[in-house]
């Protein structure tokens, strides 16, 4: 008479069946060309801005989503922001803005660094190029993000130039030999802007940030020197900023949603292309990125692996 399969034999059979299922799953092609059950790459992303609020403004939502997906993100400001105010300046302002950046980074769960260059005086020098290259190498970046070099602000422009100038050099061992060169050139991306000359911004990827909008709002709100003081003063809407903290919080969220809602509307066609008509049209807030022609050139499948959000949103 046959003995029933139980105990140790049952466990062995279950293990064998599980191995067969896993092997079969690994062999099946998944949508987008990658293979199901393959271990996903953990990306390291570094974002450069000219001032201690630029990275948070241009990529704060995508950064929060990257971190939630298990990737590592670092924000680097190339100046200390020491003239970005109408009532204070110098060391006290630089310290205040650094403290604001640290608080914002804790909310977004990103690393944060501020270089000690004077606000309004950033230049595309060899010294600054080396500083940018070292930052990229030390972070072991797979993806590097910066403004395009045709921005209205000289600090923004030169941030773009400095990052572009490292796009080849980060892989050259004898450039800054004190910091090991990268073995693979990163993907370089631009953040969105509205400048038309010499060429307009092209949205290669548009990231829905509805799910992390509250975190982005909270991070930006920590930079009160900018969003409740300096920018309202320099742009002439200081009287609109509520004095009551609760009213100010509501007002600021409306301002942020308006700004990134405009981005979602502007790049709606790309959202529909990435998410399909129903979900693409439903996105309320977004950030957009363009692939720089310098650095590693990803195909569409790789770009969607770098931005692993669209399958989540589709689900």
Q: Is residue 151 part of a domain?
A: yes
Question: For residue 312, what pLDDT is reported?
Answer: 54
Q: Is residue 273 part of a domain?
A: no
Q: How many domains does the chain have?
A: 1
Cα distances (Å, whole numbers) of residue 105 to 117, 159, 287: 20, 20, 18
Question: For residue 6, what pLDDT is reported?
Answer: 45
3-state DSSP call for residue 48?
Answer: strand
The reported pTM is 0.86
Q: What is the DSSP letter of 71?
A: -
Q: Is residue 272 part of a domain?
A: no
Span 243-296, pLDDT tens digits: 999 999 999 999 999 999 999 999 999 999 999 999 999 999 999 999 999 999
Cα distances (Å, whole numbers) of residue 242 to 87, 152, 232, 251: 19, 29, 11, 7
CA atoms of 228 and 241, how far apart (whole Å): 7
> What are 208's strand-pairing partners?
286
Provide the edge-to-edge strand list for the sheet that holds 286-295.
Answer: 111-114, 72-77, 44-49, 143-146, 187-191, 286-295, 205-208
Q: Is residue 230 part of a domain?
A: no
CATH classification of the domain holding 49: 3.40.50.10320
Contact 115, 79 (CB under 8 A): yes
Dihedral sign for Cα atoms in the order 281, 205, 66, 109: negative
- The closest alpha carbon to 210, from 270, 144, 280, 143, belongs to 280
Give per-residue burial for 123-139: e unless 16+ CB within 10 Å, then b: ebeeebbbbbbebbbeb
Span 36-55, pLDDT tens digits: 334 578 999 999 999 999 99
> Residue 109: which domain range?
44-208+287-314
Question: For residue 306, what pLDDT is reported?
Answer: 97
Contact 203, 148 (CB under 8 A): no
Cα distances (Å, whole numbers) of residue 14 to 37, 44, 231, 284: 19, 38, 63, 47
- What the block records as the tokens of 4 is 């029933």
Residue-wise pLDDT tens for the chain (315 aa)?
Answer: 444 444 443 443 343 333 333 333 333 333 333 333 345 789 999 999 999 999 999 999 999 999 999 999 999 999 999 999 999 999 999 999 999 999 999 999 999 999 999 999 999 999 999 999 999 999 999 999 999 999 999 999 999 999 999 999 999 999 999 999 999 999 999 999 999 999 999 999 999 999 999 999 999 999 999 999 999 999 999 999 999 999 999 999 999 999 999 999 999 999 999 999 999 999 999 999 999 999 999 999 999 999 999 875 444
Contact 221, 255 (CB under 8 A): no
Q: Is residue 35 part of a domain?
A: no
Q: Is residue 307 part of a domain?
A: yes
Contact 75, 103 (CB under 8 A): no
Q: Is residue 247 part of a domain?
A: no
Question: For residue 41, what pLDDT is reported?
Answer: 87
CA atoms of 168 and 293, how far apart (whole Å): 11
Q: Is residue 214 part of a domain?
A: no
- The closest alpha carbon to 222, from 100, 89, 39, belongs to 100
Q: What is the DSSP letter of 267?
A: T
């Amino acid at each position: 008479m046959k003995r029933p399969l139980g105990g140790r034999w049952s466990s062995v059979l279950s293990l064998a069946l599980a191995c067969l299922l896993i092997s079969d799953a690994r062999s099946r092609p998944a949508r987008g060309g990658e293979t199901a059950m393959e271990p996903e790459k953990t990306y390291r992303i570094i974002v450069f801005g000219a001032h201690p609020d630029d990275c948070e403004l241009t990529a704060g939502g995508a950064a929060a989503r990257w971190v939630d997906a298990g990737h590592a993100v670092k924000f680097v400001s190339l100046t200390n922001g020491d003239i970005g105010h109408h009532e204070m300046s110098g060391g006290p302002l630089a310290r205040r803005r650094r403290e604001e950046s640290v608080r914002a980074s804790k909310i977004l769960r990103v690393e944060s660094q501020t270089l000690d260059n004077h606000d309004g005086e950033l230049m595309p020098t060899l010294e600054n190029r080396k500083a940018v290259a070292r930052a990229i190498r030390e972070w072991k970046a797979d993806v590097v993000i910066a403004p395009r070099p045709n921005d209205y602000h000289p600090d923004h422009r030169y941030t773009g130039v400095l990052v572009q100038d490292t796009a080849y050099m980060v892989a050259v061992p004898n450039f800054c030999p004190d910091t090991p060169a990268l073995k693979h050139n990163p993907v370089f991306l631009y953040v969105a802007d509205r400048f038309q000359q010499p060429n307009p911004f092209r949205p290669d990827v548009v990231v829905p940030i509805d799910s992390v909008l509250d975190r982005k709002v909270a991070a930006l709100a920590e930079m009160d020197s900018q969003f409740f003081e300096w920018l309202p003063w320099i742009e002439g809407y200081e009287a609109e900023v509520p004095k009551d903290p609760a009213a100010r919080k509501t007002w600021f969220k409306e301002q942020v949603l308006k700004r990134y809602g405009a981005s979602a509307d502007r790049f709606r066609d790309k959202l529909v292309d990435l998410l399909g008509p129903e979900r693409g049209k439903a996105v309320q807030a977004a950030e957009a990125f363009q692939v720089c022609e310098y650095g590693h050139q990803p195909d569409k499948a790789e770009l969607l692996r770098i931005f692993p959000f669209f399958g989540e949103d589709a689900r």
